[in-house]
Amino acid sequence: MLRYDCQVEVGVATCIILTMALCLNMHKARDRTDKARMKMEDTMPQVAVFKAYPFKVGQKIRVEEAPRAGDWEVIAVNEHNVTLRCPISKKEFTWRKFCYLSEEREQAWPQKD
């Protein structure tokens, strides 16, 4: 009976020590992960993020610095395409959505280029 009691006590003590060691290792691992995350945040590059512009029928837009530069009126929109009309020539073109919003401002429209 003494031998059994002794083994149980040693088993419990061993279990407690192992649990404490496991907790300590988990905390050390978490600290290493936190330090690595902080280091990564310090060295993260500046990233430009673009979102497709949500065209609306009837909208007057100006495209700058692109092959389709100029003033346009949005006359149709679907999931993949936008149809634009030139306010001067009245010609209409359907293209895959291609614009990304950089700013909105009040200005004369159409502009004389």
Same domain, 62 and 103: yes
Same domain, 41 and 79: no
Asked if omega into 110 is within 30° of 0 (cis), the reply is yes
- Chain-wide mean pLDDT for the chain? 76
Same domain, 39 and 68: no
Does residue 96 have a pLDDT over 50?
yes
Task: Provide the 3-class DSSP secondary structure of residue 8.
Answer: helix
Same domain, 65 and 20: no
Same domain, 60 and 86: yes
Same domain, 59 and 110: yes
Same domain, 111 and 71: yes
Give 12-29 pLDDT, tens digit per residue: 555 555 565 556 666 677
The better pLDDT of the pair 103, 109 is held by 109
Same domain, 63 and 98: yes
Same domain, 40 and 54: no
Whole-prediction pTM value? 0.53
Report pLDDT for 6: 45
Domain span at 60: 48-113
d(CA 94, CA 74): 10
Tokens of 8: 């149980």
In this prediction, residue 93 has a pLDDT band, given cuts at 50, 70 and 90, of very high
Report pLDDT for 3: 44
Same domain, 21 and 33: yes
- What is the gyration radius of the CA atoms in the chain, in angstroms? 33
Give 39-77 pLDDT, tens digit per residue: 655 677 877 777 788 899 999 999 888 888 999 999 999
Same domain, 59 and 38: no
Does residue 85 have a pLDDT over 50?
yes
